[in-house]
Amino acid sequence: MIRDEGSQTLRLERCREYLRLLTRLQVPARLRSKLDASDVVQQTLLRAHEKRDQFRGHSEGELIAWLRQILANQLAEAVRRFSAEARDLAREQSIRAQLDESAVRMENWLAAEQSSPSQRVMREEQHLRLAQALGQLPDDQRQAIELHHLQGYAVADAGRIMNRSRPAVVGLLFRGLKRLRELLDEPQAS
């Protein structure tokens, strides 16, 4: 359990962009105009802060998994709020599974399976840095990367979703990945 409240708040804040990325990947298309990813993330962090005494983990990975669970609950609640349908436990479990799948896809994109504790810590730090770097890209480049690399859409399918031609999406991916590499190569501010 984390005892230092200031330290936990800082750790929660470091996860903001990561949670925003996962939210963007999971909000159903029909709700994107009604549901702002930043609002969902803010509610998630507020709930985590309120329930900080319930967190029993020690590592960054345990904190991230705990936050993903809270995020899944917040997304399920938002979907219920905006849907006229009654509570559907299967849909809520599906949201949790999709969040976990997105996190795994991001992890696989970042690095091959690593097993030592120090490598796990480095990988968790890479998740946070990737989410922060993606948040700095222009929206169209970020969306192209998220659709193709993190959600697994073919380039042509990503183009249809974005209302862009295949060559336009290829250009967005090229420029976005180039800028993403630059952002990830920049030294971190401590």
pLDDT digits (tens, 9 = 90+) for 87-127: 455 555 566 666 666 666 655 555 444 556 666 666 677 77
What's the CATH number for 139-190? 1.10.10
**Cα Rg of the chain (Å, integer):** 17
Specify the higher pLDDT residue, 128 or 30.
128
Write out pLDDT tens, residues 130-154: 888 898 999 999 999 989 988 888 9
Sequence-ordered alpha helix ranges (H) in 16-163: 16-26, 37-50, 60-82, 89-110, 117-136, 139-145, 155-162
- Is residue 189 pLDDT above 80, yes or no? no
Q: Is 77 helix (H, G, I), strand (E, B) or coil?
A: helix
User: Could you tell me where in the chain the CATH 1.10.10 domains are found?
Assistant: 139-190
Which segment of 12-16, 72-76, 124-128 scores lowest on mean pLDDT?
124-128
